[in-house]
Structure 1
Amino acid sequence: MQPATRSIAVAGPASAALRHRSARTATTPFVCLGCRSVQRRQQQHRRPFSGTVSTQTDLRSGLTKLTSRRLISVSGPDASKFLQGVITNNIDAPHNANGFYTGFLTAQGRVVHDVIIYPDELGPEPGKRSFLIEVDANEAMTLHKHIKRYKLRSKFNLKLLDPEERALYHAWNDVDQSGPWSKLIDEIQKDGNPRTVPDPRVPAFGSRVIVNQTSSSSSLTDNDLTPESSYHLRRFLLGIPEGQSEIISGSALPLESNMDVMNGIDFRKGCYVGQELTIRTKHRGVVRKRILPCILYSEGAAPEIPADGPGQLEALEKLLKPEVDEGVKAEMIPQGASIDKVDKKSRSAPGKWLRGIGNVGLALCRLEVMTDTVLPGETPGMYSPEQDFVVSLGGGEGSEVEAKKLKVKAFVPFWLKDVWRIEAEKAEEERRMREELLGERESDVE
């Protein structure tokens, strides 16, 4: 919950201003400059959403302008070579030609920024490869400085684009491919040298549309578009984390943040910053935690999660509420709040809350504890359908808000189960081929 703010009068006699300042000083505790900067950064990460939950039509088909994202232009002879050495994906892979999801890591393998990179045919240097990097709007300047710091003698130009230069939209349509949203997409693309790219993370999520605002003659206004909160709700229900308020910069691991299952990591490319830990975790470790969608509720039995399949999202919409309880929303839960078992304290919390809206959100969950997922090489047994999990709301010490607890139901989205099934089938096929090859060699020896 955001603390209440007090307006400060800027006009009036000097004595009144001094009295007002003295009153503030007497009631407001001292906060050092370092702590103020941390608080300011946390408040930036908590971008407010709309207070209303969108209708089913908004979640099943829509077009929204992504003000929560910014674009950075990278162009020049060394642009491709530089990016290849600092991102987790392969910029030269043929399947990444239209755009791809990737991330910047620390040397210890922690995520700094998750981004989507697009080739830019309208780059400032004709004949040379140019790219657009889509990043969290609150982190755009930080990423700009990060790239500039490691540029050294590489020959490329770097520019943080103004939203008035390039506009970024997201479109989705699960209902009617010839419906009104298709016409709106045609409208925003009018004379704007548009680029429409299927979202590279999850095929069912929708498409990105990049429009050159300087040449576009579109007459669309914000009132013609879907609220951006509908985009975030859809993203939460599909379990797609985005930005550094959900993939915490400097602490989140790429595999726990679903970057591997969202096509964000190429495990066969050459060296890049943070590769060693990422590759080791993939081939020698087990990913026990993942960012998953969660439904919040206050009393009674946990909500029934719809069956797997493309229709799961439509069924989940019926569970959406603008509030969990009267006056209580997911936005009131502080980032990083521990998710614990009801009446049971574990040595380590099974989950950690990240972000939400209404009665849904995302959390980093321990798979074998909070879901019925069976990890590779292990047997089921830790998960119990009867076990409830709770998360506490933020508030002052001893306040009623602090004592309030909400129940949490985590679930694995259908697309993630499909990815795991395909990976298991591939692993089984590889195992079978190795056994056949070993049998042939033994026969040859005999």
Structure 2
Amino acid sequence: MRSLSRRPLLHDFSPNLVCRNCKLQRRQFASARPPASGLAALSSRQLLSVTGPDAAKFLQGIITANVVSSKGEPRTDAFYTGFLNATGRVLHDVFIYPVRGAAGDSAQEGDSFLVEVDAAQINALTKYIKRYKLRAKVAFRAIDSGEISVWHAWNDTPGSQLNIAPNESRIVFEDPRAPGLGYRIIQLAGPKAPELDVDQTTEDAYTIRRYLHGVAEGQDEILREQALPLESNMEYMNGVDFHKGCYVGQELTIRTKHRGVVRKRILPCVIYDKAKAAPPSLVYEPESGSPETLTADMIPAETSIGRSGKRGRSAGKWLRGVGNIGLGLCRLEIMTDVVLPGEQAAATFRDGDEFELEWGEEDNKSGVKVKAFVPEWLRQSLDGQHR
């Protein structure tokens, strides 16, 4: 089955080659704010069925979370986790849903799991896990969105909450990556939208909310075979179990946890014009500026972040964004006020420091300033660990 292709990113094209009409269209696209409550179909995510008598044991050895409960039995609750390579770098960030008889697999004896992954990486994930199959009694099958679909719902309206519960036709799972992010809904009966008392919106609204919460997702943001799980905040997003047995990539992950200091973290960022003052807070304001203003989706991925007006060590790198917000892999001691234990870097953060992104040819450069923010959930986690 053909996998879904990666959604085109606006920063795949040089910002210096974008016409005025395209810039106007981009600004119109970015002007929509996420609704206070909404339901979005996630076409960028796809499911892989893993079934068989050895399914739980098989997954236990290749993911960062624990598939087995404290009683030694396969888990029945959904969870967030990741697949790593042998050197401890993230290959895939996923959700795993234990199910029974999903997508025509009812004839398969044993345990059954749905693995939700970046749709563009479904074939790569299948190829990767088949490498570890050996003699395990387990079968794999990529599932089309017409059979089972992935949705995300939220409600930020004060004094109200989503009235949603799992049933025979859907799995409902509160997203554990950040407080208030919302709920994952797996529609087991095909692409029909879940019946909720909220308006259906776009996946872009979901993406903007993720950025505001500081949550990365997929290989465009958690860079394949480059990102470390701890730098990607996976341990604080309930994706890494440090008490489970061996799994692929465990050695470096455990050593980093107990012996090292994680100096870089994925953080939400705001970009702003070089002539303007730094924004005081993390707010999505796509309508600010003129149509010619550079937007976050026009910044090439992995553009280096540097101190404004100074040369020296890189302060991080840009990952992805939209409007005036996005995600960056940032050095905490340089770009934030977070105090790390042990020896401090020579160039530590000072109130008023500014940082910038520049890209393009030397004689035709583009650039903006960028400011990183530490989400409250991450700051509390870091404070607790450092104490």
Does residue 253 in structure 1 map to residue 228 in structure 2? Answer: yes
- Report how far residue 326 of structure 1 moved: 3.2
Does residue 374 in structure 1 map to residue 339 in structure 2? Answer: yes
- In structure 1, C-alpha distance between the alignment counterparts of 2:191 and 2:31, rounded to whole Å: 32
The letter of the residue matching 1:405 is G
Does residue 82 in structure 1 map to residue 65 in structure 2? Answer: no
Aligned residues: 358
- SS state at 1:374 partner: coil
The letter of the residue matching 1:370 is M
1:73-130 CA distance string (max 9 Å, x none): 0010011111100111111135964111111111111111111111112331466211
**Mapped contact 2:213–2:268 kept (Cα < 8 A):** yes
Match 2:151 to one of 148, 155, 169? 169
- Report how far residue 157 of structure 1 moved: 1.1
For 1:109, the equivalent position in structure 2 comes to 88
- Report how far residue 203 of structure 1 moved: 3.0
1:279-338 CA distance string (max 9 Å, x none): 000000000000000000002211002xxxxxxxxxx44x42146653321111111100
For 1:53, the equivalent position in structure 2 comes to 30
- Report how far residue 227 of structure 1 moved: 1.1
Alignment of 1:295-314 (within 5 A): 295-298=270-273, 299-305=275-281
Higher RCO (CA < 8 A, seq sep 6+) = 2
**Mapped contact 1:59–1:234 kept (Cα < 8 A):** no
- Report how far residue 213 of structure 1 moved: 2.9
Q: Identity of counterpart residues, as a percentage?
A: 48
Alpha-carbon distance change, 218 to 111 in structure 1, aligned in 2, over 3 angstroms = closer
- Report how far residue 48 of structure 1 moved: 5.3
- In structure 2, C-alpha distance between the alignment counterparts of 1:45 and 1:282, rounded to whole Å: 34
**Mapped contact 1:80–1:91 kept (Cα < 8 A):** yes
- Report how far residue 217 of structure 1 moved: 8.9
The letter of the residue matching 1:417 is R
Alignment of 1:355-370 (within 5 A): 355-370=320-335
The letter of the residue matching 2:49 is S
Alignment of 1:11-90 (within 5 A): 44=6, 47=9, 51=26, 52-53=29-30, 55=32, 58-90=34-66
- SS state at 1:258 partner: coil
Does residue 386 in structure 1 map to residue 352 in structure 2? Answer: yes
TM-score between both structures, scaled by the size of structure 2: 0.85
Does residue 197 in structure 1 map to residue 173 in structure 2? Answer: yes
**Mapped contact 1:98–1:118 kept (Cα < 8 A):** yes
- In structure 2, C-alpha distance between the alignment counterparts of 1:81 and 1:218, rounded to whole Å: 32
For 1:282, the equivalent position in structure 2 comes to 257
- SS state at 1:151 partner: coil
- Report how far residue 53 of structure 1 moved: 3.3
- In structure 1, C-alpha distance between the alignment counterparts of 2:331 and 2:372, rounded to whole Å: 10
**Mapped contact 2:336–2:349 kept (Cα < 8 A):** yes
1:1-36 CA distance string (max 9 Å, x none): xxxxxxxxxxxxxxxxxxxxxxxxxxxxxxxxxxxx
Alignment of 1:421-440 (within 5 A): 421-424=383-386
- Report how far residue 204 of structure 1 moved: 1.6
**Mapped contact 2:300–2:359 kept (Cα < 8 A):** yes
- SS state at 2:154 partner: strand
- In structure 2, C-alpha distance between the alignment counterparts of 1:215 and 1:62, rounded to whole Å: 17
- SS state at 2:180 partner: helix
The letter of the residue matching 2:370 is V
**Mapped contact 1:120–1:130 kept (Cα < 8 A):** yes
- SS state at 1:72 partner: strand
- In structure 1, C-alpha distance between the alignment counterparts of 2:202 and 2:70, rounded to whole Å: 35
- In structure 2, C-alpha distance between the alignment counterparts of 1:217 and 1:135, rounded to whole Å: 20
Hey, which of these two has a bigger chunk of helix by percent? 1
Alpha-carbon distance change, 325 to 80 in structure 1, aligned in 2, over 3 angstroms = farther
Alpha-carbon distance change, 192 to 80 in structure 1, aligned in 2, over 3 angstroms = closer
**Mapped contact 1:169–1:210 kept (Cα < 8 A):** yes
- Report how far residue 177 of structure 1 moved: 6.6
- Report how far residue 420 of structure 1 moved: 2.4
**Mapped contact 2:296–2:322 kept (Cα < 8 A):** yes
**Mapped contact 2:149–2:190 kept (Cα < 8 A):** no
TM-score between both structures, scaled by the size of structure 1: 0.74
- In structure 1, C-alpha distance between the alignment counterparts of 2:147 and 2:194, rounded to whole Å: 14
Alpha-carbon distance change, 218 to 202 in structure 1, aligned in 2, over 3 angstroms = closer
For 1:268, the equivalent position in structure 2 comes to 243
For 1:349, the equivalent position in structure 2 comes to 314
- SS state at 1:235 partner: helix
Alpha-carbon distance change, 266 to 112 in structure 1, aligned in 2, over 3 angstroms = same
The letter of the residue matching 1:60 is A
- SS state at 1:292 partner: strand
Does residue 140 in structure 1 map to residue 106 in structure 2? Answer: no
- SS state at 1:279 partner: helix
Match 2:303 to one of 337, 358, 363? 337
- In structure 2, C-alpha distance between the alignment counterparts of 1:423 and 1:280, rounded to whole Å: 15
**Mapped contact 2:38–2:199 kept (Cα < 8 A):** no
- In structure 1, C-alpha distance between the alignment counterparts of 2:193 and 2:36, rounded to whole Å: 28
- SS state at 2:88 partner: coil
- In structure 2, C-alpha distance between the alignment counterparts of 1:217 and 1:383, rounded to whole Å: 47
For 2:214, the equivalent position in structure 1 comes to 239
- In structure 1, C-alpha distance between the alignment counterparts of 2:363 and 2:358, rounded to whole Å: 12
Alpha-carbon distance change, 387 to 178 in structure 1, aligned in 2, over 3 angstroms = closer
For 1:414, the equivalent position in structure 2 comes to 376
**Mapped contact 2:93–2:117 kept (Cα < 8 A):** yes
For 1:150, the equivalent position in structure 2 comes to 132
- In structure 2, C-alpha distance between the alignment counterparts of 1:326 and 1:97, rounded to whole Å: 50
**Mapped contact 1:192–1:213 kept (Cα < 8 A):** no
- Report how far residue 216 of structure 1 moved: 5.8
- Report how far residue 256 of structure 1 moved: 0.5
Hey, which of these two has a bigger chunk of strand by percent? 2
Alpha-carbon distance change, 300 to 143 in structure 1, aligned in 2, over 3 angstroms = same
**Mapped contact 1:53–1:322 kept (Cα < 8 A):** yes
What RMSD in Å do the two structures reach over aligned CA positions?
2.8
The letter of the residue matching 1:330 is A
**Mapped contact 1:192–1:211 kept (Cα < 8 A):** no
